[in-house]
Structure 1
Amino acid sequence: MAAYGALVSLMHIIDRLEKHPSPPISIYKQQLESLTENVTFLQDFLDAYIPPAVDDHEADPLECRIADAVYAAEDVIESQIVLQIHNRYTIIGDIIITLGVATIEEDFYHDLQQVIEEMNLIKKEAMEIATGADQMQRKVSSTHAGSSSTVKESMMVGFDEVLLEVLDKLTGGQLSRQIIPIMGMGGIGKTTLARHVFQHALVKEHFDICAWTTISQTYNVREALREFLSQVSGNSGSDDLSEGELGLKLYQYLWGRRYLIIMDDMWSIEVWDKIRSSFPDCNDGSRIIVTTRMSNLNLQLGESYGVGMKFLDEASCWDLFTNTVFGGESFPPELEDIGKKIVANCKGLPLSIATIGGLLAKSERTREYWVRIEQNLNSIVITNNDEFCLKILRMSYTYLPNYLKPCFLYMGVFEEDRSIRASMLKKLWVSEGFLKPVSGKCLETMAEEYLKELVDRNLILVDELGLSGNVKFCKLHDLLRDVCLKEVEKERFYGIIGEFPLVKDNERRVVFQNAGRRVIREVSRSLSHVRSIICYEGINFERPHNLRLLRTVKAYDRDTHRRDKTIEGGVHFLGNVFQLVNSRHIAVRLHSEYQSFPSSINLLWNLSTLIVHVEPRHEVVAPIEIWKLHQLRHLECMSLQTDRGGLILPDPPSEMVIMENLQTLRGVHNLYLNEEVVQRIPNVQKLHLIYNSEYMERANCLSNLECLSKLENFYCSIYRGYDEYLQRISFPHSLKKLKLILNSVELDEILQKIGWLPLLQKLELWGGTFKRGKWDTIEGQFRSLKLLQLDYCNGLKNWTMAESSHFPLLQELRLLGLDELEEIPSEVGEIATLKSITLKYCSESAVVSAKKIVEEQEELQGDQLELRVRAEVWNRRLQRLASPNFEVTGIFNAKLLESSSIQYPQVFLFE
């Protein structure tokens, strides 16, 4: 919902102006109070507002008026900020000259007052709507509670194992009443599974009473109880009974009978809390099935019997498609290859396969027609059967809480099938102002909660989890992305620029997708109101101009760059970007060898994220004014080589400015981490430092690291010849992730320090030497470690563990280039949490010992074995060790061996 997101964003601007230590403007108290009151009222109004039925292609007029009024307020305020800063300072070369305070307060007051008056009119209209009970009260017709007689027949393909699992939960286990949630995204087959269970012969024989109703988001408790009672009693004459009377009567009918109740499409725990007393627990094996898109409902129901629905595998997709299109007929050979492309594009979603299959079943069976269908698959699935497909998928969006809608709509700015880094997504949500502040929580915590809620609602798919169980990468299903883009177009949330330079008036956000330089040049002339520019990788956005209101520019993405190192997209002229004083998020790529940020960087009063990528061996120098960026949360400099290229950060000025919001400092070269610097960045959580010169000789360069009590993620690379300075480090106990590039430093003493870190979950060591040739782990160390990676640590021959309790939570063990290691301790195989061992170019005896660990686990666990070992070896003979749980690959070409070389890890592989 664009209107709600705009209201939250405006409140962020007001809040930052009030709390900033040196705000660029101030708003008259009376206007500030009126503006705040209007925004707060309209937020509350939209939370309860149900728009009247309108065309699906048109946004609600009232919401559009609200959005336009809020946009106008933002324009007035941020334009005034630009005027004030430009009138207060002038920039000659790279020098800022203060001219004194020049104001244009009269015009600002008048313009803002006009906006407030428009918002007053909207507020008055909203208050009239709010008093109308018919508009504000959520009603549900009886069609939301369908009886089993209306259940359509549908094919059950690919879910045989899930069906058997549900039947087992229904007929086995405890005699006490149990709730069985069936969870998954819209269209994945939850209702189809429940219907097959409901109609199964075993269920009809096992239960005395079976009843079904659809709850829906806008549930009606009385109607649901009446429907249940009608089915269990066979008597529909209960229209005159109250909610309490219906619940009591239902309880009486169910008492003493083994019953199965199915509640389809439940969206919240509230409805269950209101009707649970109507279902007795007689210890007779009664069961209740709930289908839901809300994965977290399982925990809220207090049950552990949930069943998660997954996408269909390739074979099941093909079976469902074949049965839907041809029934019992044979599949025409000339259509089989294009049919398989169509099925592959459905991405395992049964609803998509059923919809497109239903269309093809009633259409001409020619190759030309099927090719057209394949080329336009998603649009056909979304528009062909509105009642069956679009309505189901749109429902997930329609019933989202308002505060989540902008975050979901924003997912459409990313490419189709893109794996999206969660940390980057959360930074963008923050910069766009989507997150409604909550007292006591930082915006990143709010973003994490929003992301989790969207995942729980099965609107966002988890692509990769981090060690802590957090979402590291996520995705959006193609069909949900299409629903998202349709809502985006309807609500004017952002515009997508492709091969043609089409920009609507007053576009607030623009996504450049497959746009050439000509298109970008043409479009740039009409972007004066744009707040966000998102460029797909490969887009050259070189000379931004007339973008004084821009908040977000993302013209670089480390993940897409990692996939294709030949990409040339980015921003060439850093100075032009920094003329944008309202910027909050800047992610760009720099191309010249040596650049410095302009000293005017401190005019970016609202900047929260600055990410720059430099070419290998290139550096970017920050001015001393960078220490004055109060709002800065993330400062990152990326390079393909960690020891070459990065950010030069000067010592802070004598004037004490605490950067209390700073959480990430990445890619900084030769930082003198003295007491004064530590005091400036007290809340930093991620710190990535590179030392590659005699700068390390400055006394106690890293001795204050332990004073950073919030530090969770630390990376440090020290160039050859200065390893001894690393020995002086005392690590803070808050560390969860640690990666060190050590070269020749002795590991015996430093591992003693690391081992006692109580929260450490991930440890990566590159280089270093085991002086004594052995590593004896000590009981009580590495209590929280989940991933251990040792790369080219010289001299390690013997690794001994007294017992598996030394690494009680270890999940992954990665060993690279340990060519002297005699064996992996057998106790490693006894670690209950261990899931994988990866060996790359280690000694033959180490590989053989890993194979032995797998064999011992196979004997103990049999088919339940979860441990997997992957070994990359030099010796072809070791391929004979391969087995289902022991993969062996390697480089066996002598010329390739000679040309191979060890490379330093890439910066952005460390998260």
Structure 2
Amino acid sequence: MAYAGLPKFMEKLKQLISCNDHPLTNYPEIIREKPQFQLLLQDLGSMIQTLYIDEHQDLQEHVKLTDDLKERFTHAAEEAQYIVDLFLSGVHSNNNGYFPTSEEFKRFLYLDDVRRSFESFRVEFMSMRIINMELDSSPRPGRTLNQSADAVRRNSSGSKKIPDDMIIVGIDEDAKLIKDKLMEDRKKLDVVSVVGMGGIGKTTLATKVFNDSYVKYHFHVRVWVTVSQTYDKRHVFTQILESIRGRLDLGVASDSRLRELVHKQLKGKRYLIVIDDIWHIETWDSLKLFFPHDNKGSRILLTSRFVKVARHANSDGLIHQLEYWNKEKSWELLRKKMFHGNDCPEWSIEPGKQIVKNCKGLPLAVAVIAGVLAKDTHSEKFWVDIAYRTGSYIVDDQNGSVMESLALSYNHLPLHLRECFLYLGGFREDYKFKVRWLILLWVAEGFIQEDGNRSLEDIAEGYLIDLIDRNLVVVEVRNNSNGGVKACKVHDLVRELCLRKAQEEGFILQTGRQTSSSHFSNLTTPPHNPMHMIVDNDPNIRGFPNPSSQNLWSILCFNVFRSLSDANFFGSFVLLRVLDLHNCNLKKFPKGMELLVHLRYLAIYNSSDSFPSSICNLWGLQTLIYIPKGWNDVVLPGNISDLVNLRHLLSHHPLNRHFLSTKGYFILPSIKKPMNLQTFSYVKLGDGVDFQTYFPFIKELRCWTNRSKENDFKSFSYLEKLKLITYFNYKLGHITFPATLKTLTLVNCGLSWSEMPIIQSLPNLQVLKIGMDAFEGSCWNTHEHEFPRLTFLKLYFLDIKLWKPDSTSFPCLKQLEIEGCKGLEEIPLEIGEIPTLELIKITYCRQSVGESVRRIQQEQHYYGNYDLKVDVRHELPA
């Protein structure tokens, strides 16, 4: 349990103490133990205040000891949660007619040992404070100048140096871009940054630029400084001075004297300083004070793994992101390293290209494998063997250069990101994560730490962006409408790092291919240590793995199983938080699932039309994905509001390519009390339930309606995303929207274009998608009104022939998409005058539409606007 899990456990205790909204909290056994819950809650709160919240400047010398104490405390808190959860499972099972035989299902709650551990931690912590206060009162010897010099030498010996005999290939275009930026005609001091993951070639690129003959001629002074994770000011001073004046004896010089010497050597000169491998914003803030601003055209070239460091150094400067190499560049590097520019043997080409393919575009991996191949350069059999086992050779490299480089990034992760990162390692190689789904899982697993009034989902998205900025996660697909990350992945070697660290730190991730009951029985981890299981979509897995493991927290199943009917199956792991069975085409609803009272996330694909009311006993559910088969609608039970923690109720799975691949809708005939839902899709809005009253916190709603009169969404005061679909040939009456709306999709609504001003007036609308028969009429005139913040507009399958836009109507538009509007004749030239427009995308429209778009681009080129891109596909004949 990371710190993020502690507040969630405490919130559960609060609900058990005071909540009367769910039957579970009213069981006599639960009521009887409320005093124990209260004492445990007080103990946890006191320890969190002591260890995490109160600042103890007097304990800075004992950081390692306090970290160890925090770790032991979280382990004890995990044990407390394990005890409480097993007790709740036993109570819930007994009250629902299940009588598990396992001795672990206690009918009473025993927390005395755990609470005694908390008390011992408190006493130990106070003792540490007393000892530290005594040490503070004693005189301490200061660091001598000679000791400082020794520290510099120790730091220097571990630093990266400029490679002398490096074989540099495949980066000519990158180098030209960096050189041009460094030598452009600007007098003020400027910062250029190269960012990318460990081993991607940042230092190599910087070296090529640093040693370029034009660069040498252009700059009076060139300095190479390696910073790395541990920043030492004296070490930096020494590197700068020795780069300029050669080896110096600076051991007795004070810091102020060194700074004075540095400033004197750089003053009045046009200098280039390469700061290689910078990790911290604070390091840059300290370093930038040393460099004079003389308007001589001086430059600083940074290399870093962290986009945020580069962005902080110069948000307006060039930040060059190094991408993975393609197979051609990787093969060129391997060939030159192995054969030094000579022709390679014919037999080496096929296995060699397979080897570089297996390196997945990481130059450092190619370099490591070249070192392995050098042991037997002329053996075809050896090359073929390495082609089959490239990954293991890289991972098990004796020098450990690749994994050591990647491990530095992991070791630098803050604690709140580590579990999120390790979680990615349990999925198969090259797995493409859908961001929406991943965020729901992270939240349900308890990895996300609360932060003020922000939603857990928004915080989780911030965690993902942080991992991307650290170059540990790669953006695979971006959302067309807002540029956000839609899908991501991790490099295979990063995944291998995840797996290794997960084993080392007790965060155990297993795939179904490797899992068996005997494997689980051989594990030596504590019984309260959470485990996670992912069942691959592997035809060799014929039955669902059935480990008897009480501390299994998640099962993500990608295999197509047809039956899970044994109630005892779920009784084997009643502490599950996450259960995703969306790929299992179950013939009937599994028995015993109602035992899983700790579930926070459930995704299930059900062949029947019925929604079991027993699901509503799972009071901890935050996300429920109930996928009906085919076109079947699902009637929600009246006790759905018993799910007091439910925030997301979906009738489709985020991994589905299209939301409408499942056509079934939820029907809600009645409801007992208001809910905390934030996302609800897809649901039919009828006249039976007042949605505004019972779902006041909805942020995202995808719905179908046949109400021909009032369609008032204005009172949804939190609504940000709305997709509204009406029955075919049905026309909506008057409609209103809330000012909070940011994304709006309309389909089959039969509105009049004269009602568009209602939408145009929305102050926060950024994305607008108008689909099939959303509006009736052949002409849309936008001259009179403005979309103040609209950045994305899509028109698809509309019966429209004439569009009369005005550039002033779309002051912020970045992307325009038109698809399947077969009657549309052209896009007017005025669209090209929108100053922010970046892309026009046309699909399945007349040739005349494509021609008009190309004319727009030509006209913009004439005026010097080369930023506007056009994409025209599948043109239809006139």
Listed one character per residue, the Cα deviations across residues 773-809 of structure 1 (whole Å, up to 9, x for unaligned) are 2111134423333332223222x222112x3222233
Q: Match of 2:46? A: 37
Contact in 1 for aligned 2:783/2:804 (Cα 8 Å): no
Q: Which runs of 5+ in 1 are unaligned?
A: 53-59, 93-102, 557-566, 879-911
Match of 1:797, as an amino acid? K
How far apart are the structure 2 equivalents of 1:629 and 1:384?
52
How far apart are the structure 2 equivalents of 1:243 and 1:323?
45
- Say whether 1:22 aligns with 2:19: yes
Q: Match of 2:869? A: 867
- Say whether 1:528 aligns with 2:554: no
How far apart are the structure 2 equivalents of 1:418 and 1:849?
40
How far apart are the structure 1 equivalents of 2:193 and 2:156?
18
Correspondent of 2:333 among 310, 320, 325: 320
How far apart are the structure 1 equivalents of 2:187 and 2:484?
36
Match of 1:160, as an amino acid? D
How far apart are the structure 1 equivalents of 2:192 and 2:547?
58
- Say whether 1:684 aligns with 2:698: yes
- List aligned pairs for 1:73-152, cutoff 5 A: 73-86=80-93, 89-90=95-96, 107-110=109-112, 112-113=114-115, 116=118, 142-145=153-156, 151-152=163-164
Contact in 1 for aligned 2:224/2:274 (Cα 8 Å): yes
Deviation at 1:84, TM superposition (A): 4.1
Deviation at 1:492, TM superposition (A): 2.4
Contact in 1 for aligned 2:622/2:646 (Cα 8 Å): yes
Q: Match of 2:286? A: 274
Match of 1:486, as an amino acid? R
Contact in 2 for aligned 1:554/1:587 (Cα 8 Å): yes
How far apart are the structure 2 equivalents of 1:626 and 1:129?
56
Q: Match of 1:736? A: 742
Deviation at 1:68, TM superposition (A): 4.2
Deviation at 1:824, TM superposition (A): 2.0
Contact in 2 for aligned 1:464/1:471 (Cα 8 Å): yes
Deviation at 1:688, TM superposition (A): 0.8
Match of 2:417, as an amino acid? L
- List aligned pairs for 1:789-828, cutoff 5 A: 789-794=794-799, 796-801=800-805, 803-828=806-831
- List aligned pairs for 1:491-510, cutoff 5 A: 491-500=505-514, 501=516, 502-503=519-520, 504=523, 506=527, 508-510=530-532
SS at match of 2:702: strand
Contact in 2 for aligned 1:594/1:618 (Cα 8 Å): yes
Contact in 2 for aligned 1:148/1:212 (Cα 8 Å): no
How far apart are the structure 2 equivalents of 1:107 and 1:70?
15
Pair 1:28–1:19, CA change in 2 (3 A): closer
Deviation at 1:812, TM superposition (A): 3.2
Contact in 2 for aligned 1:537/1:569 (Cα 8 Å): no
Q: Match of 2:227? A: 215
Deviation at 1:392, TM superposition (A): 0.8
Correspondent of 2:623 among 604, 609, 612: 609
How far apart are the structure 1 equivalents of 2:563 and 2:507?
21
How far apart are the structure 1 equivalents of 2:64 and 2:563?
39
Listed one character per residue, the Cα deviations across residues 207-249 of structure 1 (whole Å, up to 9, x for unaligned) are 3332222211222223322333343343532223343333233
Q: Match of 1:894? A: none
How far apart are the structure 2 equivalents of 1:130 and 1:534?
48
Pair 1:141–1:394, CA change in 2 (3 A): farther
Q: Match of 1:760? A: 765
Contact in 1 for aligned 2:564/2:590 (Cα 8 Å): no
Pair 1:159–1:486, CA change in 2 (3 A): same
Match of 2:738, as an amino acid? P
How far apart are the structure 1 equivalents of 2:435 and 2:179?
37
How far apart are the structure 2 equivalents of 1:707 and 1:769?
22
- List aligned pairs for 1:742-753, cutoff 5 A: 742=748, 745-753=750-758
Contact in 2 for aligned 1:575/1:597 (Cα 8 Å): no
- Say whether 1:455 aligns with 2:468: yes
Contact in 2 for aligned 1:73/1:115 (Cα 8 Å): no
Correspondent of 2:263 among 229, 238, 251: 251
How far apart are the structure 2 equivalents of 1:299 and 1:206?
26
TM-score (norm 2): 0.85
Pair 1:73–1:142, CA change in 2 (3 A): farther
Pair 1:432–1:49, CA change in 2 (3 A): farther
Deviation at 1:292, TM superposition (A): 0.7
Pair 1:817–1:148, CA change in 2 (3 A): closer
Contact in 2 for aligned 1:488/1:494 (Cα 8 Å): yes
Match of 2:472, as an amino acid? L
Q: Match of 1:9? A: 5
Q: Match of 2:101? A: none
Correspondent of 1:646 among 655, 661, 665: 665
Deviation at 1:530, TM superposition (A): 0.8
Q: Match of 1:837? A: 840
- Say whether 1:545 aligns with 2:570: yes
Pair 1:817–1:30, CA change in 2 (3 A): closer
Pair 1:680–1:316, CA change in 2 (3 A): same
How far apart are the structure 1 equivalents of 2:870 and 2:611?
48
Q: Which runs of 5+ in 2 are unaligned?
A: 99-104, 654-658
Pair 1:766–1:576, CA change in 2 (3 A): farther
- Say whether 1:707 aligns with 2:719: no
Listed one character per residue, the Cα deviations across residues 391-410 of structure 1 (whole Å, up to 9, x for unaligned) are 11110001111111111111
SS at match of 1:384: coil
Q: Match of 1:896? A: none
Correspondent of 1:637 among 628, 635, 651: 651
Contact in 1 for aligned 2:846/2:876 (Cα 8 Å): no
Contact in 1 for aligned 2:270/2:297 (Cα 8 Å): yes
- List aligned pairs for 1:478-627, cutoff 5 A: 478-500=492-514, 501=516, 502-503=519-520, 504=523, 506=527, 508-514=530-536, 523-536=545-558, 538=560, 542-543=564-565, 544-546=569-571, 547-556=573-582, 572-574=588-590, 576-590=592-606, 592-598=607-613, 600-627=614-641
How far apart are the structure 2 equivalents of 1:292 and 1:49?
30
Contact in 1 for aligned 2:681/2:703 (Cα 8 Å): yes
Match of 1:777, as an amino acid? T
Alignment length, in residue pairs?
823
Correspondent of 2:79 among 60, 66, 72: 72
How far apart are the structure 2 equivalents of 1:400 and 1:829?
45
Deviation at 1:372, TM superposition (A): 2.7
How far apart are the structure 2 equivalents of 1:516 and 1:343?
27
Pair 1:221–1:554, CA change in 2 (3 A): farther
Larger CA deviation: 541-550 vs 145-154: 145-154
Q: Match of 1:175? A: 187
How far apart are the structure 1 equivalents of 2:536 and 2:419?
24
Listed one character per residue, the Cα deviations across residues 422-472 of structure 1 (whole Å, up to 9, x for unaligned) are 121111111111122222322122112211211111111112233334322
Q: Match of 1:202? A: 214
Pair 1:337–1:258, CA change in 2 (3 A): same
Pair 1:278–1:820, CA change in 2 (3 A): closer
How far apart are the structure 1 equivalents of 2:110 and 2:823?
73
Pair 1:537–1:114, CA change in 2 (3 A): farther
SS at match of 1:241: coil
Deviation at 1:106, TM superposition (A): 6.2
Correspondent of 1:400 among 385, 397, 413: 413
Deviation at 1:277, TM superposition (A): 2.5
- Say whether 1:160 aligns with 2:172: yes
Match of 2:81, as an amino acid? E
How far apart are the structure 2 equivalents of 1:35 and 1:249?
54
Listed one character per residue, the Cα deviations across residues 855-898 of structure 1 (whole Å, up to 9, x for unaligned) are 44455559x464222231444xx8xxxxxxxxxxxxxxxxxxxx
Pair 1:283–1:160, CA change in 2 (3 A): same
- List aligned pairs for 1:406-417, cutoff 5 A: 406-417=419-430
How far apart are the structure 1 equivalents of 2:471 and 2:485?
13
Correspondent of 1:419 among 414, 429, 432: 432
Larger CA deviation: 194-203 vs 106-115: 106-115
Pair 1:484–1:786, CA change in 2 (3 A): same
SS at match of 1:391: helix
How far apart are the structure 1 equivalents of 2:129 and 2:245?
45
Match of 2:668, as an amino acid? L
Deviation at 1:534, TM superposition (A): 1.9
Q: Matched residues, percent identical?
A: 29
Pair 1:297–1:129, CA change in 2 (3 A): farther
Larger CA deviation: 404-413 vs 393-402: 404-413
SS at match of 2:381: helix
